[in-house]
A and B are shown apart, each in its own frame.
Chain A
Amino acid sequence: MAPSTTAGSGIDGPAADALLKLGRFFTRWDETTDERAVFREGGRRGDVFYRDRWSHDKVVRSTHGVNCTGSCSWKVYVKDGIITWEAQQTDYPSVGPDRPEYEPRGCPRGAAFSWYTYSPTRVRYPYARGLLIEMYREAKARLHDPVLAWADVVGDPVRRRRYQQARGRGGLVRISWAEAVEIVAAAHVHTIKTYGPDRCAGFSPIPAMSIVSHCIGTRFIQLIGGVMTSFYDWYADLPVASPQVFGDQTDVPESGDWWDSTYLVMWGSNVPVTRTPDAHWMAEVRYRGTKVVTVSPDYSDNTKFADEWMPAQAGTDAALGMAMGHVVLKEFFVDRETPFFTDYVRRYTDLPFLVRLEEKDGAHVPTKFLTSSDLAGAPEAPEEAWKTVVLDAAGSPVVPNGSMGFRYAESGTGRWNLDLGDTVPLLTLEGDGSEATEILLPAFTAPDGSGSVLRRGVPARRVDGHLVTTVFDLMLAQYGVAREGMPGQWPSGYDDVASPYTPAWQAEITSVPAEQCIRVAREFARNAEESGGRSMVIMGAGICQWFHGDATYRAVLSLLILTGSMGRNGGGWAHYVGQEKCRPITGWVSLANALDWARPPRTVPGTSFWYMHTDQWRNDGYSADSLASPLAEGHLAGRHTADAIAQSARLGWMPFYPQFEQNPLDIAQDATDAVERGEAESPAAYVAKAWQDGTLKASIEDIDAPANWPRTLVLWRSNLMGSSAKGSEYFQRHLLGADNNVMGTESPETPRPTEVAWHDEAPEGKLDLLMSADFRMTSTTLLSDVVLPAATWYEKHDLSSTDMHPFVHAFSPAIDPPWEAKSDFELFHLLAQRLSELAKSHLGVRKDLVSVALTHDTPGETAQPGGRVLDWKRGQAEAVPGRTMPVFQVVERDYTAIADKLATVGPLADSLGFTVKDVTYRLEEQTERLAHDNGVMLGGAGDGRPAIDTDSKLAEAILTFSGTTNGELAVQGFETLEKRVGKGLADLARGSEEKRVTFAQTQAAPVPVITSPEWSGSETGGRRYAPFTVNIERLKPFHTLTGRMHFYLDHDWMTDLGEALPTYRPPVDMHRLFGEPVLGSTGELQVTLRYLTPHNKWSIHSEYQDNLLMLSLARGGPTVWMSDRDAALIDVHDNDWVECVNDNGVYVCRAIVSHRMPQGVVFVHHAQERTIDVPKSEATGRRGGIHNSVTRLLVKPTHLIGGYAQLSYAFNYLGPTGNQRDMVSVVRKRRQEVQY
């Protein structure tokens, strides 16, 4: 219906009309009859300005090598040889007619990138600390040899200390590339020669974000025998629950699979901020009728999209998860059987498997899985101890296929699968012949984290003399789901506040209403039942990065596994924290580790490495057993965390470097000499014996002795000191010997380690050389001795991939690197060349004794049956390399040929192939093909071998050697796997044999990858990638003890920490353990609050937080978000300066006060550095710190477990997490007049 308009409507009044008509008499233009609007036809001169502005010469495809998982393809506009701006590509291959597409991918951070190209913070030339350069030049003039000159400078404690103390204080001077490379090369040669190659460390995270650049530097480090420190666990992005439950590092759905979900929970994952280019799938799937729920302590950006918001208090999420599990188990398993769920858990989980019960304190406790070797009449083979047992419907024990005992043994060929045959395993032992048995279970419900004991009951039976129950029965006991006739104490109902894991119990802890918890749990499970498992949880850093993040994750994963949602399109976990998937993994991992030239590589979990080498262990406030279960057997009793790390290294669980106080080059020589003399059977036996009798001493046992310090550290594609260094002030103090704001002191009451020597004087300045390459000035470059100008992402060739989408695509140079910038690829080749030259007179060809851990996805993971801790040093076991202690191998290193090897694919590629996840890819044909594509090198160590001497050739090699990008290998790998599994798999890739993703294709447009055994999901037939679909649909086991997903973990240390089953553990009590003030305590203008460091809307880690565009859209410098109620307590208003202070350091910033924040926590967004607008602190008078100045490392001992099935080491697969969420900080109002 048309609204009535006023007759005679018009503009102003008639008089004005007349006058204006007169006024316009001399200027003619078209206008409406009432002079309301002026119209002109096209082609006007006034348009020219913007038309000129839009013009450009070319558009180049590239992307951003930043650690964000975006992997977005961009158009970079260039005019007159100058990069002008960027915009997203929109040409991703379609994902289907009835789905949204991946276009456009990008975010404001990426859109602001070109600002860096010509920014005033761009590193244009090589720099070094002036003091150091003067000393080096003086020594070189005197000694005429770079290596001797370096040795002279660092050999003099006075000079060494002088330049170390200047770190971070400015005074960088411009030097030539030649000199910069010479110094770095000389430092490495000197270190290798004097202390050993395992004192040379490198760190560069997240290969997927620029695969070639990561590969080349890592390859350099590995070729010289150096140590690469891990990133995924170090970042606390690794959900340790993933190896624990799935036996997989992590594997997750692409974001396009959110579209398949019909119930979507975002739990601790703020998708619009942290998965900006993917968020649309979440917004759009709501229109299909999918309900969206957020769990977040604040009114987060994603809550805007939620149908329901569950505002769980920070760090309490596991309580909510456990209570939801309580509802699911009660309503869908006990009150009513849900066939879809029970069929699933029988086949794919450890729930039907038997666990032995042993007497304790007048009741029983669950202990180890019953294995075939426990059964009467079992064969004597060692693999029997790795075969877990179920009862069939008739109550007889059955050893089903698929457990670890079938994975490596000859007898398991063709039987490593989840086929149960006719067996229908009993989920519960309830019924005839079972004994209702009281059991004791640990709980940690007190806010201070201390443990208590729950008395509950399970039905148990005797099997060949062992009293056993099922994991399912244990789960019901653990969650407090009562059944008739069970002894013990049980909740009276959902509303029982006092009884753990009820909805009412969790409400007290999380503040989520019990009714909401019940309703969402019910809807979640009902949706899974109706949709065939399409309930999904997007989970992230908000719940992962806590000390007990693994426990929280297990509580949440349990919901997904119980409801049959794992391994489904549209269902299961979608863990998104820094996990970027390097899709062409075989090519990357093998070439990066230089496995084509020498094996094994040296890798180490970053957390334990930095915890020890930055001496944070000295300030640790508790012993490992303060975390223990009241039912613990005492494996960790009285032990300092440093002891746990030392033991883990000794037992071959986790690697640690340096290995021994002695140079491994000398050890290798001594060992081979001893073998030649007939004094030892093998080098490994020599080392084992020497370690046992004390001839060799593990470095970790005297970590602060100068012989055991790391000496060189090379950083590229990373900003360790400004971003991931938890306890960054300790890094500065002990590792670098630089200025720092550490305020705590070593408490005399702090328990001292028994196995790690204590020096009264803590060392300051362990590193001789810190080298970094970057294109902008960061906290790291400011602290570096040598800074090299890196090419940006718009100035080089590289590859990008992610798990968020299924495409591989290219970086391309829009311009040549300006000024004196060089790509990482070029940098490491220059370094390798100079090092090879210097090695001629200083190193030559040497042997190197390499010590590595018992590794996941190798037979090494079946070294220590039953998960029992048997320590050779305590006489509990024999010292056997590769079984009770690390693996020792001798590797030959020709230090004069490092450059040659860097530039060619070595012969081990053909002779041994490359192995990923225990599938070996034979590469004879592929290397030959690559030799044709790339050509071969002539002369030197790589004579006749395929050339990888340019970045694009290395990219080609990576693509050629990976199943995801080379269909022939995908098929070959599946065929290999089929033999072990005994089930058809190769059809998943067949038809793709001819398909080969070349670098040129990735430069033209993003290219979808091929389904390959390198990953657990199937894309065959155009499906969206979802993890574990191959396991579920093809009965391929998970890489775990039972071959199924695990609720129960029976390793000694897991039991001792009370985490054998999913449970709730509150945040670590920093008051109890570290003497920090009690939460909520106030003083004059100060209040103690939880200090959380979620990801930042205006940066990707530290990248972009100094970018003028981002700073202009945000608050223009470091900030802290706090609730209006907390702010009022200390008289703080929006934009006031405040300081966050604790023992670890101080962070100075301005406050953002908002009611969307809950009381009791502050958000200091991740990786805000001290480079932008940071004044001096009131606390110390020195420059305020970075976000990590207020954090420190806390190592959870259970993350150090190894040698036991899925609980075995692999690089970035398992290791202690560098978690930082449990911190508390005093927040103070400070003087508003600040000094710089």
Chain B
Amino acid sequence: MTTAGFISIAVTLLLILLLARPAGHYLARAFDYERTGLDRIFLPAEKLICRLGGIRGDNQTWKQYAFTLVLSNSVMIVITYLIFRFQSFLPLNPGNIGNMEPTLALNTAISFMTNTNLQHYSGESGLSYLSQMVAIVFLMFTAPASALSVIMAFIRGLAGKPLGNFFVDLIRSITRALLPIAFIAALAFVCLGVPQTLEPAAVVTTLEGAEQQIARGPVASFLSIKELGNNGGGFFGVNSAHPLENPNALSNLIQILLMMLITTATPFAYGKMVGSPKQGRVLFVSMMMLFLLMLGVSISAEQAGNPLLNSLGIEDSQGSMEGKEVRFGLAQSSLYSVVTTASETGAVNTMHDTLTPIGGMVTIANMMLNTVFGGIGAGFLNVLMYAMIAVFLSGLMVGRTPEFLGKKIEGKEMKLIAATLLVHPVLILVPSAIALALQPDSISNPGFHGLTQVLYEYTSSAANNGSGFEGLGDNTPFWNLSTGIVMYIGRYFAMVALLAVAASLAAKNAVPVSAGTFRTDNRLFAGVFIGVVLIVGALTFFPALVMGPIAEHLTLKP
């Protein structure tokens, strides 16, 4: 890679770093219900929405909180399902797009409600403007808002405070974080060339005299919440590889910053809310190290390129360019692929199916670990779970009851955590095995890569990422329903179980810190944490990765 490529990545990471702490403190203030100067603007709006919605805003127990989360999200799935099913009878459909097929509509509704944004349809031809603008974008706001609410409730539990009220948190997430930032970013995207129109596709006559249709629409407002909310579903079929959805390297930079903003801010918000900034900083640094490891592997693999093509005698210094766009080149494509899978966004500016085997493996590994920052809320929830596992394992090694933030972690918590830990690989590996046995025809690329395609689909679903190895023929009832189930369980199981853990910890008396306490705010803990993430992740998924990307890599010989 060129020096300019390295510098562009370094500057991007620096910007992420600079934004994370202030954004985290802003979140902490907003969700600790502290009074801030911005209350004057936000409070009246929030009160109005609460009144219109009939929300009282009492503190909830963890059971009420979890129940409200799952029920309200399920109702939203039903509402949007109905819109997709009947879009042809509804207004704002200049392209005369038909109703969605039932399993596809269900898959799409679950996919967007669970912040996954797996897309088995193509935006240009599958959805009316109403479906895109109202149904999809509604979920693009409420899904990350739901997850942000849960993580904030979880942190309050750890801090020994009441969990709060789900609906109040949901609305705060939207009014104080998602909506204002999305609005500003949308305007910035328009300045950089992203369309924002209600006109149907433009029809032009090309220089060579052919007719070309150019699909467009309200892309900018869609794009900004897609990235900020770690949603990732593209307005166009090819997502942010489309020149109208990502016209240049600056729009690309803003997208990367938006994807990382809230998820990198959360550890800082956590540190502030539990009254010990170091606790958050250690986790941030640990995740950043995992991130850099992934990025390094990805870049070196993509730069080496595809030996089968390079051996044809062409000029290959650009690296692997199949499925990549010239305006981003190697550095920004590689970076984007790592950012989008680390933050579980799922937007792509390069086709992941065409990445070199090892570059592709990095993207899957990010989703398998699901702790390299992770998506809004859900990611940090996982990180805290791994932190407790790290504490527990350390406790076992020295023979002392493990403590986390002064609360003893005992059998009840560990059972819930262990179950959550196991659900993720089960959701990935079992359906992959079934699909390989029953649906071999959906695989578009032969050989070891075919296995990776299937593995990727379920990993992406379980981790609520939503990107795909898009060659897979996945718009069939089998794939729609199976990935729908995986996304639903992948989303809510962990949230409910971990809310129970938080409530159980909150009810315990704090143990005073002594010389024998295993500290969770220093370098030793960072090392143990990274070790646990890598060992637990590698042990679970290594065999699958060997049979997929690693085998493909080893067979790429000219």
Chains A and B are bound partners: no
The chain B residues found within 8 Å of chain A, CB to CB, are none
